[in-house]
Amino acid sequence: WGAKDAHEHVHFAEEGLRKTQKVPRSPQHWRRGAKLLSSLPNGGDNFVSDEFSEDVGCIATDGQATVLFYSDGDWGSSGGLNKVLHDAMKRRSNKDPPPVYASLGSDGRFYVKFGDNEAGWNGSDDMAKYLEGKAAKESGGVQTVAFGQDRSTFFIVYQDGTFSGKGNIPSGLGLLLQKRAGMTDLECVSLGPSGEWFVATREGEAWWGGVSPQFEEHVKGIEDRVSFMDFGATRSYLVRYGAKLV
């Protein structure tokens, strides 16, 4: 699946829960949410409550581990972070550009990018082609990466708002992209291991779906302020959102 082609690469998985929201916001409001909702196992909620702040430039979870990158170049993670990813970040000296973006997935998958645009990942061979190939080079590079239900499912958003994906893309997400065919304004896409998905555009719109009734209840009242969602194992999640506008 891509902004222009690759339709043959996608199989739309059945999506059990089709709760979809479209949320208008200003682009500036999207980019930094000072508040966080979470439902994480094994003490994860306590970790993010202690470590999260508006200075966090990136936060990601796979349900088992959560990583945060701060605007001053510092970073932190909970226990259980993929050892390869953890060691790669620890090996970098204070003189090296810090990590600025990461995405975590099931089965040890991850993507991490540093301030000098150096990147590392663990994923399918097909994903590597989309991260390093013609699409990435022509679009200014990778912006966000999402890992889906199985190792072969991924979704990449590029710096120019175009995108590529492959595998069991949730049906709700696929239908949304078909409805918006030809538009190249994506800012971020997140996928979860149970069919969850989240989309945000540069214009400040957002949609999500495949989530549980408990999730819907948890985000009630902040739908118009959501800036980012991430999903992990056993229906765990992170929701970043802004202060109430007056």
Contact 239, 37 (CB under 8 A): yes
- Say yes or no to pLDDT of 135 above 60: yes
DSSP assignment of 16-62, as one string?
A: S----------HHHHH--SEEEEE-TTTHHHHHHHH--TTEEEEEE-
CA distance 168 to 137: 25
Q: Is 137 exposed, middle or buried (0-12, 13-18, 19+ CB in 10 A)?
A: exposed
**Confidence (pLDDT) at 32:** 62
- Say yes or no to pLDDT of 50 above 90: yes
% residues pLDDT > 70 (the chain): 86
Helix, strand, or coil here: 122? strand
**Confidence (pLDDT) at 129:** 92
pTM of the full predicted structure?
Answer: 0.88
Contact 162, 139 (CB under 8 A): yes
CA distance 33 to 49: 14
Q: Is 5 exposed, middle or buried (0-12, 13-18, 19+ CB in 10 A)?
A: exposed
- Say yes or no to pLDDT of 23 above 80: no
Confidence of residue 21 (pLDDT cuts 50, 70, 90): low
6 or 165: which leads in pLDDT: 165
Residue 88: what are its φ and ψ, rounded to 5°? -65, -40
- Residue found by looking up tokens 């990158």 in the block: 69
Within the chain, residue ranges assigned H as helices are: 27-31, 44-51, 83-90, 125-132, 134-138, 171-179, 213-218
**Confidence (pLDDT) at 164:** 94
**Confidence (pLDDT) at 243:** 79
- Say yes or no to pLDDT of 14 above 50: no
Return the closest-CA partner of residue 61 out of 215, 241, 232, 198: 232
**Confidence (pLDDT) at 27:** 45
CA distance 61 to 82: 11
